[in-house]
Amino acid sequence: MSKQKEELEHRLKLRNIKLSDFDDIRKIMVSAYKTQGMTWTKEEFENQLNAFPEGQICLEDNGKVVAVALSLIVDYSKYGDNHNYDQITGYGKFDTHDEDGDTLYGTDVFVDKEYRGLRLGRRLYDARKELCENLNLRSIIAGGRIPGYSKYADQMSPRKYIELVKNKEIFDPVLSFQLANEFHVRKVITKYLPEDTDSRAYATLLEWINIYYEKDEKLIGNKKTIVRLGLVQWKMRRFNDVDDLMQQVEFFVDTVSDYKSDFCLFPEFFNAPLLAEFNKMDASEAIRNLADYTEEIVNRMRDLALSYNVNIIAGSMPEYDNKKLRNVSYLCRRDGTMDKQYKLHITPDEQSYWGLQGGNGIKVFDTDAGKVGILICYDIEFPELSRILAEKEMDILFVPFWTDTKNAYLRVSTCAKSRAIENECYVAITGSVGNLPRVENMDIQHSQAAIYSPSDFSFPHDAIIAEASLNTETTIVADVDLDLLTKLRKAGSVRNLAQRRLDLYSIQWKNKR
């Protein structure tokens, strides 16, 4: 290989800065900044390395430093948004560095002019983000110069200039780069760097939020990020009594618990086989008699949740109270607490056969394995409900359903897939299979239980985490990663929740009770 070719070869290396790098760094600073007041002295540089060596990062090429990023850790509450550069850097000494602080403060980034266009600044920003995550800091904050503003200062305010840069009507060599690297502008700062004439002493206060930040991390009992779901695709069969039914329920709870599942989901009206006892009654009378068993079944499922250490979504069961027949799903947490969610939308068939009425409330439930929502069957076909839950930061949506035909099942499953994508959450659905001769309105079943995900690079290509065999009694056990949802919402290919045009539309829950 010729000597000339060797000289043209790049050998980039990311590393922490050493004191011996000062001469290389000084040359870059002098060429990058017009005024000497904006460059570091060797004494200041040495102080920075002594204060926080891990935060001083560079890229070298064949042994020569060509790009630099400097930072320190601060307790941001001590400074607030109205600080200036000298205050937060201790006039360049970095004696404001606080190992117990919560924020990585970016003080400088500069690249050798000969190396611009190679996206080295992006590599340095990525390294800063990695440092922020590894140190479990809340965010990166920086005061950003807007050197292009001097050309427009007589025509518009800094606020207007920043707006146009955001909309890509104007290119600013610093701000455009920072916005492209997932920073957002918190506010405009005045007199941040008085000697920065190009920016007219204005600066943008920029922030990048560490989505993996964990406040007051504990050794045990931390929020789970990998959550295991167990779904029961239930076979409708004749049971002699509640004890007989609960024996089969316990079998499945035991099964998914053996796999260390965090949740166990049963289908809508999984206790319908007990209707056979009221076979000679009118359908509306029979379902009201079935409701008499609900309290006993729920209490026994709560005990199963405790003894098998699994949160149980108890499908749904009829509740008859104060002359109102409703369809309700119970969440039996493994800590012994319970919540419930009523079905809100009643199908024409349910109303005409049984006289069911819809509930009036919806909520997100806190659990030890994330925030969850429950929508019973038909409710998944109304996108407003899932969106309301998503706005309350739901991670997993459980959908117990009962469908008799394939087209009915496809309505539920297709809508469930859509809800996962629209709301950037996981959706788990399960129903029942088999048949119930001599049980009016519950005679045939069609189901294929499944767990759906959003559709992006971090998820399965078809947005299906797991899928059961069609019309077979079985279980699904699969893991979902809640951290992937956090990543998607902040940096996904598309961001359905963040990019809604709330200036044009919104969803309003009218019932205040």
Count CB-CB contacts under 10 A for residue 490: 14
Choice among 268, 319, 424, 473 that is catalytic: 268
Highest mean pLDDT among 13-27, 183-197, 412-426: 412-426
The whole-number pLDDT of residue 371 equals: 96
**pTM for the structure as a whole:** 0.76
The pair of structure tokens assigned to 15 is: 């590393």
The pair of structure tokens assigned to 218 is: 């504990």
* Cα–Cα distance measured from residue 105 to residue 308, given in angstroms and rounded to the nearest whole number: 47
* Cα–Cα distance measured from residue 437 to residue 236, given in angstroms and rounded to the nearest whole number: 10
| Cα Rg of the chain, angstroms | 30
The pair of structure tokens assigned to 375 is: 């929508």
Q: Considering the chain, what is the average pLDDT of its residues?
A: 90
Q: Is 343 a catalytic residue?
A: yes
The whole-number pLDDT of residue 192 equals: 85
Residue found under tokens 């292009």: 148
Average pLDDT (138-165) is 92
**Residue count (the chain):** 513
Residue 511 has pLDDT above 90, yes or no: no
* Cα–Cα distance measured from residue 398 to residue 395, given in angstroms and rounded to the nearest whole number: 10
Task: Assess contact for 254 and 288: CB atoms under 8 A.
Answer: no
Residue 310 CB-density burial (10 A; 0-12 exposed, 13-18 middle, 19+ buried): buried
* Cα–Cα distance measured from residue 35 to residue 33, given in angstroms and rounded to the nearest whole number: 6
Instruction: Return phi, psi of residue 216, to 5°.
Output: 50, 55
Residue found under tokens 């998944």: 380
Per residue in 366-405, pLDDT (tens digit) is: 999 999 999 999 999 999 999 999 999 999 999 999 999 9
Average pLDDT (169-180) is 91
The whole-number pLDDT of residue 421 equals: 97
Average pLDDT (80-103) is 89
The whole-number pLDDT of residue 66 equals: 94
Residue 239 has pLDDT above 50, yes or no: yes
Q: Is 44 a catalytic residue?
A: no
Residue found under tokens 């405790």: 306
Choice among 264, 332, 377, 415 that is catalytic: 377
Q: Is 224 a catalytic residue?
A: no
Calculated CA dihedral for residues 60, 63, 65, 67, nearest 10 degrees: -20
The whole-number pLDDT of residue 6 equals: 46
The whole-number pLDDT of residue 53 equals: 94
Per residue in 243-301, pLDDT (tens digit) is: 999 999 999 999 999 999 999 999 999 999 998 888 888 889 999 999 999 999 999 99
The pair of structure tokens assigned to 316 is: 């749904």
Is residue 96 classed as helix, strand or coil in its secondary structure? coil
Closest alpha carbon to 140 in 98, 103, 86, 192: 103
* Cα–Cα distance measured from residue 231 to residue 380, given in angstroms and rounded to the nearest whole number: 17
Q: The dihedral of CA 280, 281, 287, 288: what is its sign?
A: negative
Q: Which of 79-83, 419-423, 437-441 has the lowest average pLDDT?
A: 437-441
Residues 6+ positions from 396 with CB-CB distance below 8 Å: 227, 229, 263, 370, 371, 372, 373, 425, 426, 427, 428, 480
Choice among 332, 343, 417, 425 that is catalytic: 343
- Measured CA distances, 106 to 60, 73, 116, 141, 239 (Å): 20, 9, 20, 6, 67
Per residue in 3-39, pLDDT (tens digit) is: 444 455 778 899 999 999 999 999 998 887 765 456 7
Residue 416 has pLDDT above 80, yes or no: yes
Task: Assess contact for 266 and 234: CB atoms under 8 A.
Answer: yes
Q: Which of 168-172, 193-197, 317-321 has the lowest average pLDDT?
A: 193-197
Residue 162 has pLDDT above 70, yes or no: yes
